[in-house]
């Protein structure tokens, strides 16, 4: 295998940002390759055949080994580069707790991304239509997820204990997108001061703001009503009632 890790990603993607920050936090050397989600390069069959049949990013390429899904990528990097034990646990119980969060995240907080996507980006792909059902479903899932985060943070400084772990990066970058799109604002922070304190703590880490810079800029553009020209035609439609392709 090559000694050079290739990291295929896009800076607007929440899971991509979590992995990117993990790479930087652990000082793992990698080659960065931006996948143009705006034009839908990832929708092409040759891309899917080469890297990921779902067309999703992030993707990690290590020689002839390819792995996708952000927790799987981070777990592989943790094992290969012997990252500090706080990221994926030093004991069986810690590792189980971290894996437990990663499984929960995929079905809950990650699916809440529908609130952000359908509020700010759907019309850039399919034009002005009624996305209210999709927004409501995403919003419900997001709000439900925040109650779980608040419960866990009532017991420890971070989501899985008293040290930062990969689940914190997963959750943090989901909320960054909601902040960028003004889905989460003062009202939510007032309801969940523990989450706000945790969010601010992670924001103070040296890599957090640089990794988040692009989505904050694009989020501000969309909040201001500026269009983002997209030629992609599909969406994963996470956390919504929509059938993929229904708006095409």
Crossing angle between the packed helical segments 208-223 and 166-180, to the nearest 10 degrees: 30
- One digit per residue, the tens of pLDDT, for the chain of length 248 reads 457 899 999 999 999 999 999 999 999 999 999 999 988 899 999 999 999 999 999 999 999 999 999 999 999 999 999 999 999 999 999 999 999 999 999 999 999 999 999 999 999 988 999 999 999 999 999 999 999 999 999 999 999 999 999 999 999 999 999 999 999 999 999 999 999 999 999 999 999 999 999 999 999 999 999 999 888 776 655 444 555 455 54
Q: How far apart are CA 193 and CA 214, in angstroms?
A: 26
Dist CA 175 CA 141 (whole Å): 13
Q: What are the residue boundaries of the structural domains of the chain, listed by start?
A: 5-81, 92-223
* pLDDT computed for residue 242 by the predictor: 53
Q: How far, CA to CA in Å, does 108 sit from each of 17, 72, 73, 80, 134?
A: 18, 18, 20, 29, 15
Q: Are 31 and 4 in contact (CB under 8 A)?
A: yes
Give Cβ neighbours of residue 195 (< 8 Å, ≥ 6 apart): 146, 149, 150, 153, 175, 189
Closest of 69, 80, 8 to residue 41, by C-alpha: 8
**214, 204 Cβ separation under 8 angstroms:** no
Dist CA 67 CA 141 (whole Å): 28
Looking only at the bridges linking them, the beta strands covering 31-34 and 5-9 are: parallel
Cβ atoms within 10 A of the Cβ of 20, count?
A: 24
pLDDT score of 4: 86
Neighbours of 185 (CB within 10 A): 10
Tell me how far apart the alpha carbons of residues 202 and 151 are, in angstroms, rounded to a whole number: 18
pLDDT at 10 (0 to 100): 96
CATH for 92-223, options being 3.40.50.300, 2.40.10.120, 1.20.120.340, 1.20.1050.10? 1.20.1050.10
The Cα–Cα gap between 234 and 45 comes to 13
Interhelix angle 166-180/70-81, nearest 10 degrees: 140
**Given the DSSP bridges, would you call strands 65-68 and 31-34 parallel, antiparallel or unpaired?**
unpaired
Domain at 5-81, CATH class: alpha beta
3-state SS, one letter per residue, for 180-228: HCCCCCHHHHHHCHHHHHHHHHHHCCCCHHHHHHHHHHHHHHHHCCCCC
**CA distances (Å), origin 202, targets 107, 120, 133, 145:** 23, 25, 32, 18
């Amino acid at each position: 295998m090559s000694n050079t890790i290739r990291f295929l990603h896009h800076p607007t993607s929440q899971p991509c940002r979590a992995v990117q920050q993990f790479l930087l936090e652990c000082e793992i050397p990698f080659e960065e390759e931006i996948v143009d989600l705006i034009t839908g390069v990832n929708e092409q069959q040759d891309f899917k055949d080469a890297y990921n049949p779902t067309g999703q990013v992030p993707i990690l390429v290590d020689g002839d080994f390819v792995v996708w899904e952000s927790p799987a990528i981070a777990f592989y990097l943790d094992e290969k580069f012997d990252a500090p034990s706080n990221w994926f646990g030093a004991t069986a119980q810690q590792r189980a707790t971290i894996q437990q969060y990663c499984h929960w995240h995929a079905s809950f907080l990650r699916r809440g991304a529908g609130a952000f996507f359908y509020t700010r980006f759907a019309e850039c792909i399919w034009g002005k239509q009624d996305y209210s059902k999709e927004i409501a479903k995403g919003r419900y899932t997001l709000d439900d997820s925040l109650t779980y985060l608040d419960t866990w943070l009532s017991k420890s400084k971070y989501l899985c204990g008293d040290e930062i772990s990969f689940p914190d990066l997963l959750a943090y970058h989901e909320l960054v997108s909601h902040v960028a799109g003004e889905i989460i604002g003062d009202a939510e922070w007032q309801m969940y001061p523990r989450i706000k304190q945790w969010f601010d703590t992670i924001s103070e880490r040296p890599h957090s703001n640089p990794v988040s810079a692009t989505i904050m800029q694009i989020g501000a553009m969309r909040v201001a009503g500026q269009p983002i020209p997209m030629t992609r035609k599909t969406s994963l439609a996470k956390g919504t009632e929509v059938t993929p392709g229904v708006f095409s």
